[in-house]
């Protein structure tokens, strides 16, 4: 029995800021000299990012008039964790609601009252009662909806959210699971000239994505069957990708060695994912890879023999949004899903995401169109599947 990713909705805050403008803000905030400013601007130019979104307008303002950061030289006193978490509470819920609405607009046959499980995913803010409970109220979900929070796992956390949704649907075929990722990465700008902080300041943006997973494919549009998952660790990367809570925000460590480590481990990860499946890497033509950065995408291409065209969905998301942590791979999958047709039925899709640890996550999805929905209905008729799953999806 499979579960099916039926729709993905995405949302971003209103402030869309060119990468070059963010570089100017960073140079001024860090009080860099002319030489270091040129080096920083070069880093931003080669990032593969054109624009990023932020809940804060300040990154578009070089000469003060800031709303979040102090209007002082060096931005002192620098905002504390408490100040940043207050902004997270202010902005996370409306962005999450917007993503859910964008998801369910694609599924007019689905009513919110039929959602049985809610999974929230975030590593950029935490509080209790949390985003999950606030979403129940804002969406009008039943109070008895089963809630699960996936917190502080980083960029690969959406895959864990999908694993949970898959498990819920397999345990209870009539389950209908809403997975919501919200990441406000730009709240955690670090005023530091260390290389790790310069790189992370150059990559991360804000965004939210919502996914509906259920026991049958969607009506009238292609879905993605959650076919297989595999996780692995690269222990040598334990200190090279990390995420810590400190006095002035959440600090990301992202060393220059990460692309090489991913390149070294991605082949074995793929082999283990596909080992017991009737699919080989050569059979796969569709890829949804988390764009942790341009060099990471290029390293994966070299390791697996992929082209930039194979990675086109990841590059387009990186260019338009930057790295939005856990939500990013769902943005990539949304691009891919929007281009599928009934002719793609049965096609395999390979997806990767990476995060602290160094954690490598892989999942294989299979395109399921109306034809697949008819096969599921036949299974119900033949007693191979519980009928509630089809009743809820029709």
- Residue 253 pairs with which residues in a beta bridge? 242
Closest CA to 26 of 135, 208, 259, 186: 186
Whole-number Å distance between alpha carbons of 209 and 8: 7
Whole-number Å distance between alpha carbons of 273 and 281: 10
Q: Which of 155, 169, 181, 185 is catalytic?
A: 155
Q: Supply the DSSP string of 201-226, one letter for each residue.
A: HHHB-EEEEEEEEESSPPTTS-EEEE
Buried b / exposed e along 164-189 (16+ C-beta atoms within 10 A): bbbebbeebbbbbbbbbbbbbbbbbb
3-state secondary structure of 248: coil
Q: Supply the DSSP string of 252-305, one letter for each residue.
A: EEE-TTHHHHHHHHHHHHHHHHHTTSS--GGG--EEEE--S-HHHHHHHHHHHT
Whole-number Å distance between alpha carbons of 209 and 95: 9
Report the relative pairing of strands 51-54 and 206-214 from DSSP bridges: unpaired
185 tagged catalytic: no
Whole-number Å distance between alpha carbons of 373 and 377: 6
Going from the C-alpha of 347 to that of each of 210, 223, 316, 344, 376, the distances in angstroms are 23, 11, 22, 6, 17
Angle at 159 between CA 154 and CA 163, to 5 degrees: 130
Peptide bond preceding 77: is omega within 30 degrees of 0, i.e. cis?
yes
Whole-number Å distance between alpha carbons of 325 and 216: 29
CB neighbour list of residue 109: distance below 8 Å, 6 or more residues apart: 219, 393, 394
If residue 9 lies in a helix (H) or strand (E), which one and from where to where? strand 4-11
CB neighbour list of residue 350: distance below 8 Å, 6 or more residues apart: 270, 273, 281, 284, 286, 287, 288, 362, 363, 364, 365
Catalytic residues: 155
């Amino acid at each position: 029995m499979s579960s099916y990713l039926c729709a993905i909705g995405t949302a971003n805050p209103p402030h869309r800021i060119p990468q070059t403008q963010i570089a100017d803000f960073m140079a001024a905030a860090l009080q860099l000299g002319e030489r270091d400013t040129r080096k920083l601007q070069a880093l931003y130019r080669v990032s593969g990012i054109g624009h990023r979104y932020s809940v804060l307008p300040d990154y578009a303002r070089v000469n003060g008039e800031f709303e979040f950061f102090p209007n002082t030289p060096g931005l002192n006193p620098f905002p504390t964790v408490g100040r940043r978490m207050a902004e997270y509470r202010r902005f996370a819920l409306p962005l999450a609601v917007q993503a859910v609405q964008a998801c369910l607009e694609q599924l007019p046959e689905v009513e919110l009252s039929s959602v049985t499980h809610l999974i929230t995913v975030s590593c950029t803010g935490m509080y209790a009662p949390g985003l999950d409970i606030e979403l129940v109220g804002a969406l009008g979900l039943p109070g008895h909806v089963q809630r699960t929070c996936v917190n502080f796992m980083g960029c690969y956390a959406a895959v864990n959210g999908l694993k949970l949704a898959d498990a819920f649907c397999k345990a209870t075929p009539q389950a209908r699971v809403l997975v919501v990722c919200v990441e406000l990465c730009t709240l955690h700008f670090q005023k530091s000239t260390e290389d790790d902080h310069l790189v992370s300041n150059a990559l991360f943006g804000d965004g939210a994505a919502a996914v509906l997973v259920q026991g049958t494919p969607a009506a009238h549009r292609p879905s993605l069957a959650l076919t297989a998952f595999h996780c692995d660790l690269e222990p040598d990367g334990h200190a090279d990708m990390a995420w810590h809570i400190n006095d002035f925000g959440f600090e990301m460590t992202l060393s220059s060695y990460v692309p090489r480590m991913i390149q070294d481990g991605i082949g074995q990860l793929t082999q283990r994912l596909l080992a017991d499946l009737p699919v080989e890497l050569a059979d796969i033509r569709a890829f949804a890879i988390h764009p942790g950065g341009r060099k990471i995408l290029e390293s994966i291409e070299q390791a697996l023999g992929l082209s930039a065209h194979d990675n086109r969905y990841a590059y387009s998301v990186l260019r338009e949004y930057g790295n939005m942590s856990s939500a990013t791979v769902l943005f990539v999958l949304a691009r891919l899903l929007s281009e599928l047709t009934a002719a793609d039925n049965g096609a395999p899709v390979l997806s990767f995401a990476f995060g602290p640890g160094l954690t490598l996550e892989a999942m294989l999805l299979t395109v399921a169109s109306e034809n697949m929905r008819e096969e599921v209905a036949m299974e119900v008729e033949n007693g191979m599947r519980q009928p509630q799953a089809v009743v809820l999806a029709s």
